[in-house]
Amino acid sequence: MIGKLNHVAIVVPDLAAGTAIYRDTLGARVSEPLALPEHGVTTVFVELPNTKIELLHPLGENSPIARFLEKNPGGGVHHVCYEVEDIQAAAERMKQAGARVLGDIKIGAHNKPVLFLHPKDFCGTLVELEQA
């Protein structure tokens, strides 16, 4: 069911510093910051030949990323995102398999439908599915 790895998301305590590390130190191409109020994050994508790294920073007091940073002040890996052909079919399949779908299908940073799956159902890893 899952397709290619779309991105690995890393929460950073300082978005400008994190962007600079990937751009200036590692020589990667990075996007401009994009605020996503409906997700409570500001994101920067690091373009790699085979996938992307998503740098996440809290946007607003109620950001789930702010809570992540409270527990992990230095930041860290937050989730992995896999592509699926049909997000609605994937959601139904996950529910039928007993996996916990977190919230509703939303529009993600790439303007495509996404959903999240509970980390306790996936070896301790928060999983995002994005419609290809």
Query: Active site residue: 38, 54, 92, 128, which one?
Result: 128
* 128 labelled catalytic: yes
- Residue 15's φ and ψ, nearest 5 degrees, are -65, -40
With beta carbons less than 8 A apart as the criterion, state whether 56 and 45 touch. no
Instruction: Identify which of 19, 28, 46 has the alpha carbon closest to the alpha carbon of residue 109.
Output: 46
DSSP one-letter code for 62? T
- Active-site amino acid positions: 128
